Amino acid sequence: MRCAYTTILWDLDDTLLDFPYSQRFALKKCFQSIGIGITEEHITRYSQINNDYWKRLELGEVTKKELLTGRFTMLFNEYGIRGVDVEAFRREYEEALGSVFLFRDDGLAVVRSLQGRLRQYVITNGVSSVARNKLKISGLIDVMDGFFISEEVGCPKPGMEFFEHCLAEIPEKDKSRILIVGDSLTSDIKGGVQMGIPTCWYRPEGQTNDTPWKPDHEIDDLRRLCEIVA
């Protein structure tokens, strides 16, 4: 029996790769550079601010440029941290963020197990330089058939323009045979629903869906994807 899906569009951060792991490393390194001891409160609050900025980017409320520096400016202002060159801090943070990685649920093994059976692509809203470096050092660049980075495409997920660009570039033109796999209901799943592309929501912590965007599949472990595409 032929597999229903021929193509997978994988989200990168918080799906294939453990983003909090890289984020924690980068924040600690950068705070050390400015001579400030970072606390768990700093990390938690930054994560909240960062997530909020990315949601606002998805809604078109801020630009990518505003996001990249605004999140640090807000954090520093809240904690009374003065005299920091925010632009230099951003550059160091992005370099550190792209220098380490950790797979979720044996993600690389999952991708490799599907290699040759399905075409696989990365779709990400991440910063281009960071995403490219993570793809390289993680080995994903060698097993993926391609990747689409919103910064290079010119618009972020869940914008229809982003997914229209992906569809124009990949061989499969039958949307019903493409599967988007991602953790974000408001980015990956919303984008797929709006485009009429099947989706698989990755929710490893058992999150609940309080949005109108309903995925076709749900998994709590990436290894379960093999059951869906088998």
Choosing from 11, 13, 18, 105, which is the catalytic residue? Answer: 11
181: left (phi over 0), alpha (psi -120 to 50) or beta: beta
Asked about 145 being catalytic, the answer comes back as: no
Contacts of 190 (CB under 8 A, 6+ apart): 158, 211, 213
Contacts of 85 (CB under 8 A, 6+ apart): none
Q: What does the block give as tokens for 23?
A: 């984020």
Catalytic residues, by residue number, are: 11
